[in-house]
Chain A
């Protein structure tokens, strides 16, 4: 087991930076998920850590040892590839044993370890099959088994679940969490699936266009996204983003959004960079959009365009004006149909503010903790008269 450092790491393909000044400390035993859309540089970062790509600039260290020039085989890492990369001509047993043969593990010890991992992953009856005869989930388990038998300092996983169907993916997610707890291993896991990131990670590193956008625990990332990209990328359905204005009433700051005026604690946010315009982006999570509230006075009216019942909840998309639609997460069996005019209320205690040009979050980190956490007292509502 070991910790991992990226220090100002760049990777250029030609002149195009794919990874742009990545600095990241991964602690020993951490399950760190690199999350981002395709092309954000997350897989390239992982491949640099694996030794399959060389960083253009910067330093990568595993267990405090600089590995930039170290070949892959000397890094003591194990990698699970997206399409598993099993050796097609070898049986499951051969696939599992190959690495141990390379390391000249004695035969008896090899069989013991192989048996242990095969039992753990439920591969015992498949040991003599070839990869072509296995299902996607089975192949995935073989790839995982191969990595486990390596007993590496760091596990690297490149979207290992992306080729599995939804049920199997959920099952393997639980399996990976269990394995991580059991082995207490350092895992660097790449995915574009925020559900995987949220469920498995001890910390998430969100990447966008080669940059590291934010690092934090899943809850921190969800509750206090550092910028508009993170805010809209994490969370499903996506965060609603509407335009608002910062102004002042009686010398105290207020936010005007969706026809309402909300008083704000001046210590809770910074003014936007572009002082010429007071316009900001306001982010509202769908669970903070409440349909059919008790008090019609606070309400925004919306016409229902889409209703998506998911069983445990229902998603409602409503148009509030020509430019604004809001997605709300409502309890199941809420009697709302397409075409209905509904009253919407916003939970003003959980709003997010972003600078319109830099798209950075305008909310200040609270002093109570090292990371930004949301304080419900930040917003106090001002009734529009």
Chain B
């Protein structure tokens, strides 16, 4: 349009300004941010390539060992089991389980009567706000031989933490964390204008068609955000699994956070533990990037 018109009325007054005094003021928080946030990450990156121990010969005298830790990692079968278990845990329990159950609850609660909506909401959120150790203890008692789960399934002598440890842990985590997804989806559903659904109704769409063609597509961006947050929350989840099984029996629930703890603090291999934690960061970063990418292309 008028882009080739040049206004020559002197100095532009609406340019972004740079002020030296504010730069000086910002240097202080900038420095804090650097030393408290960037510093430790860089330090961790370095520690991952050393033989630092918590207790032992290399606790005082430790040094850079180059590719020794990554090489050890490549031959560590427990590590690969751990990656696999972590992915099962994050994808199965978090991304699929918590998200689907949370979405279903949010959809059902939107249509339900006030007392039902309130009581379900309170129960689900209660499971989320009780301390993780308490939640773990509840599930420990629930799944023991002679526990409620055994009685309900008519196998009172089964200890489900032994017979199906990964499933039990995943379901416990699903139970505990569903509230988060439910709240996220409930908020998003409230933002869908009722007229849009009414318009589809008048146009002749069935209830399922409205859900499929209108509600779910409109929840798309929320779904991505939810998946991102659920992944981050579940990827680093330690307390529940450690309290329930300590990674066992054997290594059958040894997810990466538990394995890191075991290497660094049970076996005192601080350097090697840090190497594994770097892999955890990489997995987290990769998944996050994937979601951000998806949400960009969807928008």
B-contacting residues of A (Cβ < 8 Å)?
A: 50-52, 71-75, 77-79, 81-83, 85-90, 98-99, 102-103, 146, 150, 156
Consensus secondary structure, chain B interface: helix
Whether A81 pairs with B201 at a CB distance below 8 angstroms is no
Whether B218 pairs with A88 at a CB distance below 8 angstroms is yes
In the complex, chain B residues whose CB is within 8 Å of the CB of A86: 196, 199
In the complex, chain B residues whose CB is within 8 Å of the CB of A83: 193, 195
In the complex, chain A residues whose CB is within 8 Å of the CB of B218: 88-89
Whether A85 pairs with B205 at a CB distance below 8 angstroms is no
Whether B198 pairs with A81 at a CB distance below 8 angstroms is yes
Binary interface encoding of chain B residues 79-119 relative to chain A, with 1 for a CB under 8 A from any of its CBs, else 0: 00000000000000000000000000000000000000000
Whether A150 pairs with B199 at a CB distance below 8 angstroms is no
Q: B209 within 8 Å of A by Cβ?
A: yes
Among B160-175, those with CB < 8 Å from A are none
Query: Assuming A85-B195, A85-B196, is B209 touching A52 (CB within 8 A)?
Result: no
In the complex, chain B residues whose CB is within 8 Å of the CB of A103: 204
Whether B220 pairs with A89 at a CB distance below 8 angstroms is yes
Closest B residue to A77 by CB, please name it: B202
Whether A98 pairs with B203 at a CB distance below 8 angstroms is yes
What number of residue pairs across chains A and B have CB atoms under 8 A from each other? Answer: 64
Q: B188 within 8 Å of A by Cβ?
A: no
Contact residue among A51, A74, A75, A79 (Cβ-Cβ distance under 8 Å from B199): A79
Q: Could you tell me the distance between the alpha carbons of A83 and B198 in the complex, rounded to whole angstroms?
A: 12
Whether A78 pairs with B202 at a CB distance below 8 angstroms is yes
Whether A150 pairs with B201 at a CB distance below 8 angstroms is no
Binary interface encoding of chain B residues 6-22 relative to chain A, with 1 for a CB under 8 A from any of its CBs, else 0: 00000000000000000
Q: Could you tell me the distance between the alpha carbons of A82 and B194 in the complex, rounded to whole angstroms?
A: 12
CB distance from A77 to the nearest CB of B (A): 6
In the complex, chain B residues whose CB is within 8 Å of the CB of A90: 217
Contact residue among A52, A73, A88, A156 (Cβ-Cβ distance under 8 Å from B204): A73
In the complex, chain A residues whose CB is within 8 Å of the CB of B214: 87
Closest B residue to A79 by CB, please name it: B202
CB distance from A13 to the nearest CB of B (A): 16
CB distance from A32 to the nearest CB of B (A): 18
In the complex, chain A residues whose CB is within 8 Å of the CB of B213: 87, 98
Q: B125 within 8 Å of A by Cβ?
A: no
CB distance from B247 to the nearest CB of A (A): 44
Contact residue among A52, A82, A89 (Cβ-Cβ distance under 8 Å from B202): A52
Query: Assuming A52-B198, A52-B201, A87-B196, is B206 touching A73 (CB within 8 A)?
Result: yes
Can you list 5 contacts pairing A with B, beta carbon distance less than 8 Å?
A: A73-B206, A79-B199, A87-B199, A88-B218, A102-B203
Binary interface encoding of chain B residues 174-193 relative to chain A, with 1 for a CB under 8 A from any of its CBs, else 0: 00000000000000000001
Q: Could you tell me the distance between the alpha carbons of A87 and B197 in the complex, rounded to whole angstroms?
A: 9
Whether A98 pairs with B200 at a CB distance below 8 angstroms is yes
Whether B203 pairs with A146 at a CB distance below 8 angstroms is yes
Query: Assuming A73-B204, A87-B200, is B195 touching A102 (CB within 8 A)?
Result: no
Query: Assuming A98-B213, A102-B209, is B198 touching A85 (CB within 8 A)?
Result: yes
Whether A72 pairs with B217 at a CB distance below 8 angstroms is no
Query: Assuming A87-B200, A89-B218, is B193 touching A73 (CB within 8 A)?
Result: no
Whether A81 pairs with B195 at a CB distance below 8 angstroms is yes
In the complex, chain B residues whose CB is within 8 Å of the CB of A52: 198, 201-202
CB distance from B21 to the nearest CB of A (A): 41
In the complex, chain A residues whose CB is within 8 Å of the CB of B206: 73
Q: Could you tell me the distance between the alpha carbons of A74 and B203 in the complex, rounded to whole angstroms?
A: 9
Closest B residue to A149 by CB, please name it: B203
Closest B residue to A143 by CB, please name it: B199
Q: Could you tell me the distance between the alpha carbons of A85 and B218 in the complex, rounded to whole angstroms?
A: 13
Whether A72 pairs with B201 at a CB distance below 8 angstroms is yes
